[in-house]
Amino acid sequence: MPKHWEEELWIFSGITAIAGLAGLLTGQLLPCLLSGLLAYLGWHVYQLAGLLQRLRHNKHAAGRALGLWKAVNNALLEQKTAGHARVRELSYQLDRFRDTVNSLPDAVAILGQQQRVDWSNPAAGRLLGIDWPDVTGQPLTGLVKDPLLNEYLADGKFSQPLVVTSPKNRAIILSLFVAPLKREGNRQLLVARDITREYHLDITRRDFVANVSHELRTPLTVIAGLAEQLALDSSDTGMLQRSIELVQQQAERMTVLVSDLLTLSRLEMQHESSHDDSVAVPELLATIAEEAVALSGEAQHVVQLDLESQNGLRGDAGELRTAFTNLVANAIRHTPGGAEVRIRWQVDGNGAHFSITDTGEGIAARHIPRLTERLYRVDASRSRDTGGTGLGLAIVKRVLDHHDAELEISSRVGSGSTFTCHFPAERIIPLPG
Ligand code: ADP
């Protein structure tokens, strides 16, 4: 038997026994038993009143409760304690949810009746200008005065997200969607995400595909035209010879373009170079300088090599060779024959520096920030004539990114340019000998 029942039984038996004994002694058994029962009832009423009092005043001490009342008190106390723990747990979960949503980079807002703002996170202020709690209860359409967004909200067709510029900052592109909150009547959840980077990447990618197609189509058109001409008349041996040379030239151009594209795509697929070689830069530059003389050929550029340091670099030998060769080849291609091109390697307190200075045509300041874009050329037809693909500096930029290095370009139209690659001190290594 549970303890409280046992206790209750003892109380009842005690009262009955005392009343019975008093009845036997006084010869008034029935009235005494009735008085005993009344006392027992009175004690219960007293306990009930005590419990009511405690519940009213939110106290939960069992006090002098006995028997069943003690059990009732304890059960209530347990329930109350469990209730408190649940409230604490729920408020912790709510705080955690709020913290999470508040630290999200995406704008989140809850819209009530007529799309009035019920709640929003700080990102909604930054991206949409919805500054909660100041705007609580205001209709979203009045806050975000964007016709596209208002049309989207009014339409109620939210199967596709809407791409709009941020009303707070026109440079930010947002992807926004609204979802109904099923358990919350007419309430809606609005989420807006900053997709500026992806948006521009997508445009760049589309432009790039269009430009590459154009670059490849030009030599193909030439080759197809020549083949057509030769199919009609191939008796003229002089023309046949010229045509073959032209086809060779165009095929070579396509090969160089495809090879540069492959190099660039390989570099872009990795975030850092896969090799960690000890690159003997002075030796490498001596070879590149010799190759520059060969490339210049009859143009007879004066290639000057200033090796002011005998240190090398930690990095990918193949990638560094490609980058330096591209810069040197550009200098030769954009400098008139006989003029000087200077290759320099130095180390100072700021790191290691490879630079190539030419005395060529130079570049107007407005082009400089765009030179490392893929297929960007100051003068496309001139670049093609000199065998350029427009990918060289994009390749250089990716190689330098892999080596934590920066490219600096300084130039003056008519007097020449200097391209400098700045490598951090951590990459410098002493070379044996
Ligand atoms: P390209 O293959 O056309 O040379 P790059 O990416 O190497 O492509 O260079 C992009 C453009 O930068 C070139 O088309 C050219 O207009 C300009 N450029 C690069 N290097 C030089 C230089 N040393 N002097 C003048 N212009 C240069």
DSSP string over 383-420: HHHTT--S-HHHHHHHHHHHTT-EEEEEEETTTEEEEE
> Alpha-carbon distance 341 to 328, whole Å?
8
Q: What is the pLDDT at residue 320?
A: 96
Is any ligand 1 atom within 6 A of the Cβ of residue 389? Answer: yes
- Minimal CA–CA distance to 325: which of 360, 286, 362? 286
DSSP 379: S
Using only C-alpha atoms, the chain has a radius of gyration, in whole angstroms, of 43
The per-residue pLDDT string of the chain (433 residues; one tens digit each, 9 = 90 and over) reads 888 888 889 989 999 999 999 999 999 999 999 999 999 999 899 888 888 888 887 765 655 678 888 888 888 888 888 999 999 999 999 999 888 888 889 999 998 888 899 899 999 999 988 888 888 888 888 888 888 888 888 888 888 899 999 988 889 999 999 988 877 777 889 999 999 999 999 998 888 888 888 888 888 998 898 888 888 887 888 888 888 888 898 899 899 999 999 999 999 888 777 778 899 999 999 999 999 999 999 999 999 999 999 999 999 999 999 999 999 999 999 999 999 999 999 999 999 999 999 999 999 999 999 999 988 888 877 666 666 788 999 999 999 999 999 999 999 999 999 999 999 999 999 987 6
Q: What is the pLDDT at residue 64?
A: 66
Q: What is the pLDDT at residue 85?
A: 92
Is any ligand 1 atom within 6 A of the Cβ of residue 339? Answer: no
**What is the SS3 string spanning 214-261?**
HHHHHHHHHHHHHHHHHHHCCCCHHHHHHHHHHHHHHHHHHHHHHHHH
Is any ligand 1 atom within 6 A of the Cβ of residue 416? Answer: no
Q: What is the pLDDT at residue 346?
A: 97
> Alpha-carbon distance 296 to 207, whole Å?
33
Q: What is the pLDDT at residue 386?
A: 66
Question: Which residue's entry shows tokens 């091109």?
Answer: 341
Q: What is the pLDDT at residue 60?
A: 59
Q: Which atom of ligand 1 is nearest to the CA of 391?
A: 6
Task: Give the sheet arrangement for strand 312-315, strand by strand.
Answer: 277-279, 312-315, 428-429
* Ligand 1 mutation target, pool 259, 342, 371, most atoms within 8 A of CB: 371
Q: What is the pLDDT at residue 53?
A: 84
Distance 337 CA to ligand 1 centre (A): 17
Is any ligand 1 atom within 6 A of the Cβ of residue 359? Answer: no
List, in order, residues 6 or more apart from 50 with CB less than 8 Å away: 63, 65, 69
Q: What is the pLDDT at residue 215?
A: 85
Distance 329 CA to ligand 1 centre (A): 9
Q: What is the pLDDT at residue 383?
A: 65
Distance 419 CA to ligand 1 centre (A): 11
Is any ligand 1 atom within 6 A of the Cβ of residue 331? Answer: yes
> Alpha-carbon distance 228 to 250, whole Å?
15
Question: Which residue's entry shows tokens 């604490």?
Answer: 88
Is any ligand 1 atom within 6 A of the Cβ of residue 15? Answer: no
Torsions phi, psi for 147 (to 5 deg): -55, -40
Q: Which atom of ligand 1 is nearest to the CA of 384?
A: 3
Is any ligand 1 atom within 6 A of the Cβ of residue 330? Answer: yes
* Ligand 1 mutation target, pool 259, 264, 334, 370, most atoms within 8 A of CB: 334
**Cis preceding linkage at 133, omega within 30:** yes
Q: What is the pLDDT at residue 63?
A: 59
- Minimal CA–CA distance to 259: which of 269, 270, 267, 247? 267
Is any ligand 1 atom within 6 A of the Cβ of residue 373? Answer: no
HSE-CB at 421 with a 13 A cutoff on CA atoms is 28
Q: Are 196 and 172 in contact (CB under 8 A)?
A: yes
Q: Are 292 and 303 in contact (CB under 8 A)?
A: yes
Is any ligand 1 atom within 6 A of the Cβ of residue 124? Answer: no
First to last CA, the chain: 97
Is any ligand 1 atom within 6 A of the Cβ of residue 322? Answer: no
> Alpha-carbon distance 43 to 37, whole Å?
10
User: CA 367, 368, 369 angle in degrees (round to 5)?
Assistant: 100
Q: Are 362 and 415 in contact (CB under 8 A)?
A: yes
Question: What does each C-alpha distance from 187 to 112, 166, 198, 256 come to in angstroms?
Answer: 5, 23, 30, 59
Q: What is the pLDDT at residue 385?
A: 67
Q: Are 32 and 19 in contact (CB under 8 A)?
A: yes
